[in-house]
Structure 1
Amino acid sequence: MNYYTLLDEIKQYVTAFFQTHANDKLIYHNLGHTENVVNAAIEIANHYRLSDLDYFVVVTAAWFHDIGYYTDPTRHEEKGAEEAAAFLKRQGIDETTIQTVANCIRATKLPQNPTTLLEKIVADADLFHLGTSRFTDTNKAMRKEFIELHNIDISKEEWRIKTIRLLESHHYHTDYAQLLLNDAKAKHLEKLKEKLVEKNPELKNQVAPIQTPGIKPKLKPLISDDDGISKAKQKNRPERGIETMFRITSGNHQRLSDMADSKAHIMISVNSIIISVLLSVLLKNLEQFPQYTVPAMLLLAVSLVTIVFAILATRPNIPKGTFTQTDINEKQVNLLFFGNFFKMSMEDYTSGMLQMMDDRDFLYRSLIKDVYSQGVVLGTKYQRLRISYNVFMYGLIVSVIAFSIAAILTT
């Protein structure tokens, strides 16, 4: 089954549904919000490199997760799951996949309690905005929608308190969302508390400093924080923004490397077929068609050079695999790359890793070296791959022209 084609049909179906069921009261839970959730789900799903089926489940759940608002706002998750199930059944999707999509939609219900990775991705995508620059605008839209739907003129202060409690009780479930969004979410929470105290000085004694990594402590939560992490550990932990940078950069490098390997595999496969055909068919018959000798040899050379550079692009280059205590003491070795330690004993490697983890400067230097080394290898790989593609493209053009000229001259 072509899941990507089906996702296009789902997009068209949901978009048409929102357009034909327009409701002026739904200021926030509209097509724009759904599209934002879909984009967030795709971003998180791409990070975890899901299979085609899992990717389909996540994106489908994101498209249908709030469609139930137009029939029953109080049970919109369940209604959305039912709507998704009905659509997927009409498309011939198996019951197991339908149930998985429905569970992902139900996982967005507050308080969120997802259990599987797919449910966690959809749950985090639904509240992705809490840790983004869109938070303020979406929060205002949610207040306006609440007033319209419930016909209750809730004050800004009351809504601010509700939002503070939501931010304090909420936590992202995937490590990707945690690293990417927690800092911004904490800043939004702190600003809300500062504004609450500014507008309501009588609450000052109820709202006191909190501890958030990377943010100067000012206000405490209105509800308890049970994350179980001591203040000392938070203080000594590397800033999450830096962790996010290294994680995303390394992940991007890995994905680019996988893409390069895939492109090189295409070049090797295609040109191997060309060489096989040339050797088995054309070259055996050159005595009958001598005019094709030069074009055939030219195409053979082009394919051979293309394969060579494609192989060079993917050929691994492994270092010696050892390090010394001097390398550790001088912080000259990157213990995060297997090529620097695969010949060392477990005891030596453990000792080196513990020394690196106890030294913040050594740790960050190693992370920097790891990202830099990945970039250098990636640059070399793509340079060779580009040569391979250029040789194949221009060589194929010249070869076809040569065959055409040879054919014309014999007629």
Structure 2
Amino acid sequence: MNYYALLDEIKQYVTNFFHTHPNDKIIYHNQVHTENVVNAAIEIANHYRLNDQDYFIVVTAAWFHDIGYYTDPARHEEKGAEEVSLFLNRKGVDEKVIQTIANCIRATRMPQNPETMLEKIVADADLYHLGTSKFSEFNKELRKEFIALHNIDLSKEEWRNKTIRLLETHQYHTDYCRLLLSDTKARNLEKIKAKVAGKNPEVKNAKPVIPPVTAVQQPAAKPKVKPLLPELVDEEKLKRKNRPDRGIETMFRITSANHQRLSDMADSKAHIMISVNSIIISILLSVLLKNLEQFPQYTLPALTLLTISLVTIVFAILATRPNIPRGTFTQTDINEKKVNLLFFGNFFRMSMEDYTSGMLQMMEDRDFLYRSLIKDVYSQGVVLGSKYQRLRISYNVFMYGLIISVIAFSIAAIVTT
């Protein structure tokens, strides 16, 4: 089954559903929220490199998880599971896959208690916003929707207390979201607690107001003035402080995983070319070439097809053939930050002590570490580019060569008759 084509149909179906079922009361659980959850599910799924079927399950569940709000808000998870089952049954999807998607949707019910990895991904995608900078904006929309749907005049104070309880009891279920979002979620919680306590975190560092000295007061000693924001003096330090380290690390992790996935796809395509053309060469050598004395008119077409298959295999092998560097580095390479210790080809001939020493030096140097990550991603991209270029040549030779061979065999047959 072509899951990716079916995902396009699902996207179109759910989008049309939102357009044809307008509801002014549903301010938060609408198309925008659904698309945000889908994007979060795709991000998490790509990190864990799910296979095509699991990827389809997660993304489909994300599209349908809140569609039930438009028919029965109190049982929207169950309604979403029923809706996706009806849609996928019409498309001939396997019943086991449909049931897994329905379970993923049910796993978003609060309080969340997902069991499988796929359920955990969908559950975390649904509450992904708790650990983002847009949490406050989404939380306001959610309060407005709650008031509209339940006809309850819920004060801001009551809503903040409910939100605090949610943030304190909620935990992300995947390692990816725990590492990426937990810190920001904790900061969001502290901001709400500060508001409840009547504090304003934005004026936390405000300059204190010193009351004027009156005539009856004794002269006070002049206080030592310290800069309120020393980071402003050092712009470079402030820039480092504001750099989103966790986001940078996540970017490197996702990019590397995507490159690896593309590399696996290229290897798989090359394997197909090698297998198919090996069969063609075997048939040509065992059957056709032995009978060329009886059918000399097929000599040229047969040799053409044999050459094409051979060239195709050569380029497919070149696309997958590993290129191993010398496997050593020097202390000078470490000091000048030239070597990438994250690639095995640069250290596999070195001793454990030398490699450990180099890694420790790299981990203590922020600039060296990020340069190594950049080199690693760049090297993967260069290898991928070379691999796909050779693979493209292999496919082009096979495609056009096969056409030429078929034409040649047809002409030979026509001439014979």
- The TM tier, using the shorter chain, reads 0.7 to 0.9
- Deviation by residue 1:48-100 (Cα, 9 ceiling, x = unmatched): 12245533542353344324435553454456557768988997735x983x5
Who is 1:294 aligned against? Answer: 300
Who is 1:61 aligned against? Answer: 61
8 A Cα contact 2:67 2:76, kept in partner: yes
Q: CA deviation at 1:112?
A: 4.2
Inter-partner Cα distance in structure 1 for 2:321 and 2:8: 38
Instruction: Give unpaired runs (5+ residues) of structure 2.
Output: 206-228, 230-239
Q: Judging changes above 3 Å, is the alpha-carbon distance between structure 1 residues 253 and 282 closer, same or farther for their aligned structure 2 residues?
A: same
Q: What aligned pairs does 1:7-406 form with structure 2 within 5 A after superposition?
A: 23-30=23-30, 33-70=33-70, 72-77=72-77, 80=80, 93-94=95-96, 98=99, 101=101, 104-112=104-112, 114=114, 116-129=116-129, 138=138, 141-153=141-153, 172-177=172-177, 189=188, 203-204=199-200, 208=204, 239-406=245-412
Inter-partner Cα distance in structure 1 for 2:10 and 2:244: 42
Q: Judging changes above 3 Å, is the alpha-carbon distance between structure 1 residues 205 and 378 closer, same or farther for their aligned structure 2 residues?
A: closer
1:408 to 392, 395, 414: 414
What value does the CA root-mean-square deviation take over the aligned residues?
4.5
Q: Which has more radius of gyration?
A: 2
Give the share of equivalent positions with the same residue, in percent: 80
AA matched with 1:204: N
Instruction: Give unpaired runs (5+ residues) of structure 1.
Output: 210-215, 217-233
Q: CA deviation at 1:6?
A: 8.0
Q: Report the secondary structure of 1:125's partner residue.
A: helix
Inter-partner Cα distance in structure 2 for 1:205 and 1:240: 23
Who is 2:223 aligned against? Answer: none
Q: Report the secondary structure of 2:120's partner residue.
A: helix
Inter-partner Cα distance in structure 2 for 1:280 and 1:112: 63
Q: CA deviation at 1:281?
A: 2.3
- Please report the TM-score for the alignment, with normalisation by the length of structure 1: 0.73
Who is 1:219 aligned against? Answer: none
- More moved, 379-388 vs 336-345: 336-345
Inter-partner Cα distance in structure 1 for 2:255 and 2:8: 30
8 A Cα contact 1:271 1:307, kept in partner: yes
Inter-partner Cα distance in structure 1 for 2:103 and 2:351: 46
Who is 2:222 aligned against? Answer: none
Q: CA deviation at 1:373?
A: 1.4
Inter-partner Cα distance in structure 2 for 1:237 and 1:38: 27
Q: Report the secondary structure of 2:319's partner residue.
A: helix
Inter-partner Cα distance in structure 2 for 1:409 and 1:65: 65
8 A Cα contact 1:179 1:243, kept in partner: no
Q: Judging changes above 3 Å, is the alpha-carbon distance between structure 1 residues 265 and 345 closer, same or farther for their aligned structure 2 residues?
A: same
8 A Cα contact 2:46 2:258, kept in partner: no
Q: CA deviation at 1:272?
A: 1.4
Inter-partner Cα distance in structure 2 for 1:139 and 1:287: 82
Q: Judging changes above 3 Å, is the alpha-carbon distance between structure 1 residues 76 and 178 closer, same or farther for their aligned structure 2 residues?
A: same
Q: Report the secondary structure of 1:50's partner residue.
A: coil
Q: CA deviation at 1:204?
A: 2.7
8 A Cα contact 1:314 1:381, kept in partner: yes
8 A Cα contact 2:180 2:250, kept in partner: yes
State how many pairs are aligned: 381
- More moved, 278-287 vs 295-304: 278-287
Q: CA deviation at 1:258?
A: 1.3
- Please report the TM-score for the alignment, with normalisation by the length of structure 2: 0.72
Q: Report the secondary structure of 2:405's partner residue.
A: helix
- Deviation by residue 1:124-168 (Cα, 9 ceiling, x = unmatched): 221345567976875564344223202235577876887688678
